[in-house]
Amino acid sequence: MLINLVINALAFYVTAYIVPGVRIENFSSLAVVAIVWGVLSIILKPILILLTLPVNILTLGLFTFVINAFLIMLMSGFVPGFRVDGFGSALLAAVVLALLNVVLGNLR
């Protein structure tokens, strides 16, 4: 579980560096973002996927990026030091995070 937390923190750090409109102010904010992302992914994401299952099936799973973008926007609202300028930036961040998690997940 600690490895997943470090991978998420690294993925968010790289995402904030790559995606315009996503900013993480300091290391403590990065740690909080990684922890909150893990909690949201465990608790809220499965509920949202279940509620949007018909749309997710119609889009062949691509609606999951929209759900992740919503969670990123939600997280930017209550995690101090983490800012996302708009939904477009959050959607691009969701795609970059997914790609980074695949790459970094294969490295462990």
pLDDT tens track for 1-50 = 788 889 999 999 999 999 999 999 999 999 999 999 999 999 999 999 99
Q: Are strands 82-84 and 22-24 parallel, antiparallel or unpaired?
A: antiparallel
Q: Which residues constitute the domain of residue 38?
A: 2-107
pLDDT tops 90 at residue 106: no
CB half-sphere exposure, 96, CA atoms < 13 A = 19
CA distance 29 to 23: 10
Based on the structure, what is the number of domains in the chain? 1
pTM of the model: 0.92
What's residue 4's pLDDT? Answer: 86
